[in-house]
Structure 1
Amino acid sequence: MADSQLLLAPAAIPGEPTPPRSQQPTLKRSASASFNDVQDESVVSRKRMKEEHEDAEAPEQAQAPGTVVPANDSALVEQLAQELQCGCCSELVYRPVIVVPCQHFFCGSCCVLWIRNGGSGCPACRGLSTSVTPFRSLQSVLDVFLRAAPHKARTERERQQADEIYTGTSMRFPSPREASPEPDINPSDYVRPCPNCLLGNPYGWRCPQPIVDPNVDPEHAWPLEDGTPPGHALCGNCENLLALPSPLTTKCDFCQVSFCGINIQGRCIASPILSQQPHGFSDVGDLIQSSAVYECCFHSNTVEVEIMLDYLTVQRITPRHIYREIVTHIQAQPGAFLPLIDLELFVDIHAMPAGVDPDPAAPRSRICRLCAAEVFLYGLREWFLRERQKGFLEESVSNRPDCVDGAECVSQRNLEHAREFNHMIAKSNQPEIQSNQAPPPGEVDTPPPSSDIPMPTTHIPASDSPAERDEVPVTSSDGPATEVPVIHGDDVIDP
């Protein structure tokens, strides 16, 4: 062992101090200077590459889930604002609603406008959707986000306009419309035969005045410039040629337009009044889409329309049921449909020319889909007035004070005024406005007559006949009855 130690370390010289251990020679051979330089440079390069890699990954780590980021970080606020954008208006969503089943969300007002403008599916994916409901969980997230970033909130004017459109209720998308076939446009200069003009047609009846096929006999074909051939007309729905005497042809007693009864079943026909379906009003969602319901029927009072829509949804009342009750009520009136005809509700509602009404006072038995829609819109508001008397409305709605101006109120478009006052008032129940103004200076109020002085009274017979109302006897308590001359225009007829 001693020998091995002598070999590892040289013997110390007596009288000289022993060098420190670090300065003592070892058996290890030191690396060359060039290798040490390369090693130092590689270490520095690895450190520099690591620092650059960490700097490049810093933004990704800030966006990764679970990374702690300050709440006031502007980048986070902007990213959340983009994620919370409405798919329609591309702004921060306001009063969000969610579409079922695709789970896309939008502003409630944007979704209402989409449905009113004809949308029948999700505005984002155009998929078939069943309903739209308020997205309450997302609303909670929005509230927290706006407390941290209040500058991202929509303007007060935008919020007010959105509140006037959407009231926070659930909605339904209307069913997709059935596309009508394209009209049979003849590229030639001649009229093509109608379905009943062809020999051996499948309808079991042939037109007595058949139109010549221009492809078979162009010399005897009917030119387009000569108008509609005799005994024929254009269908009010598909606009194709039809034979008027055909057993399948029907005529609307309101617009005087004929329908072929061949091309589209249920549409190219004038049905009996009670069995017809009003055009464009298949379900409650169609009422939301119709601007005429808001503007014409309810004078742009969106609150009253929403009350009616909620009532129809709860009671499960369909537009066709409403139409039948409206027709039944109109038919029970003395003039039946004559007031509607006098208002010219059924004039020029089709693209093709209509026939002449032979007797406006005649009873009506058949109606087309467009005329049925006019009857529906004409009586919708009065129907809901009668329906409200059944007492099924909520107390918060039925106990509202009546507006003095009723349906003629010019402020009912204001959302706050419409919510506070009831404007669904029958004309006969509207209160009379009494004037409390004092008489002008110089005029003396006439005192009421004394009960001791007999006053002349006029007795009007309770007859509705114009002939019996021409002569109205005036009786007085002081003398016998006298007859007053009747004035007809500029002539005076003595009794």
Structure 2
Amino acid sequence: MADNIESSTLPFESEINDLPEEDNAKEYADTALVSLVSLVTSFKSILLKRNKTILGRNSAKCSEGGVLQGTTISSTHCEITSRSLVDASAVIWIKDISSNGVWVNAKRIAKDEPTKIFSTDIISFAPGPVDDNGDSPAFLLVDKRKKAEDSNQVKEHAKRPIDATENDKDDEDKVDEEPGKKKTKLDEDAAFEKEFNCGICHEIMHKAHVLQPCLHAFCKGCCKGWLQRSTECPTCRQAVVRTKRDFKLNNLIEAFLESRPHMKRDDLGDDDGADSDSSDVVHTRRNLGLGRHGGGDTDDEDDHEDDESEDDDDDGQNMPLPLNFHRHPDACPCCDPSNTLGYVCPAGVRLQSLGPNPSIWQYTRRRVRQPGHLQCQDCRNHLPDIPHGQPERVMDLFKCKMCGIPSCGCQTRSVEDRITQNAILDGILNYAETSIINDYLTAKALTTGSVWQEIKDGMDNGDYSYLRMPGQPALQGQGVTSSHKLCRRCETKFHANGPLYQWRKAIDPAQLPANVMARQDCWWGRECRTQFNVANPSHAERLNHICERRRGNS
């Protein structure tokens, strides 16, 4: 079963039905990445160690650790299955096989029909809100898996039953041994499958819809579920105005699946009869609910008839976050009237702290952008939406100085921060120049913190500054000081074409090895893109890029 643990996701029928209950569970006994965290004190949490886990009352029929006692528990109550317990692209399914029912985020799922579940979904075996002291178990699904490397996905893809001749398979083995060979049908299939994958469920898109204005595409059902919880694109975080069915993309996917019937997905019943190119799911967005299956009130009155437990906004108040939940969203730092940051949010939009033990409902609501605020692009914490006219020093506290994206500072750093953290120099210049710098520091018994201190001094006295790149605004990096914070992308661009580049260029040539100084200058200098190509490392080793561009200059 070791191969099954690492293989990619297939449609449910071919992916799950043949899985045995027992597999190499001992390998994951202490490192299970998927678990059911109990929300009721009288029940223990469950580590999902098998591809198929059966929960219920009968110890002879249920999986180890999956035996539950309670008045609402059937002999065999539900099955939780997944093709892989380590790859986040493998979907997790739950199937109700009981006589009493299974609820996901307060909505009962259909019996004997597999339903996808996702991290932070709440699974309960009785209707209504979770009672911490009740006799009916309820769990929070926690998924800590990471997505497999693309190379592994391609290799596992080769194991799937597709229309390929034996010669194609032989060619694939040759490609693995000789990278220069022509790509095979399997490689092309893997490339197409990657393009056709939905970024939410990680399966082939079903009735693909594009979000506007960003034009990222997802399954229609996934769009609906996502837009119940957020108004932003899950890929780029841009506000979604509307969605449209992409007929050309759907035709391409249909043609791709004609010769690959094993990859087709069942009709999920999410079309609503909206087959026109103006089919828009934004207008059906619900008010904020608990997870991807809903759980809140809807704007459509017909939906109320199907929601037995959605007539009360207090349903989630008694559902606490797990005790080991890694972090809570902080209140906006400028909502505190006594703050010393130089700005106080208007009284009408001030956010209160959630406190030490917020409920899942409170946490989920806070994760959505609140009126009068921005959100950090990395951690989603709220920041003040400071109007123009405020001092620049105040506005710079909550954004990247170069691109202006909102940031609380969790992933943005200044040169002063890098000094105190003794931050590494890797990932800014090409790997060959980074290696040269590290060898130089070792020979001189210097630390990276001392390099950043020299850069700070050079920026403060005007020796080091940002050098404009072609196609970029002339003033984009101008005015950045050692105390200004830059996001990860801008920070790399700023130092590679400014302070770190200038510091490296100022090193006395006599202090560097002869073979380093003997290299010829690249025609494109620091603007060369090939120097960062990991598939062609010899270019960065053979040529010097600590110089200005010569090709094309008058």
TM over 0.5: no
TM (normalized to structure 2)?
Answer: 0.27
Higher Rg: 1
Name the structure with the higher helix share.
1
Q: TM-score, normalised by structure 1?
A: 0.30
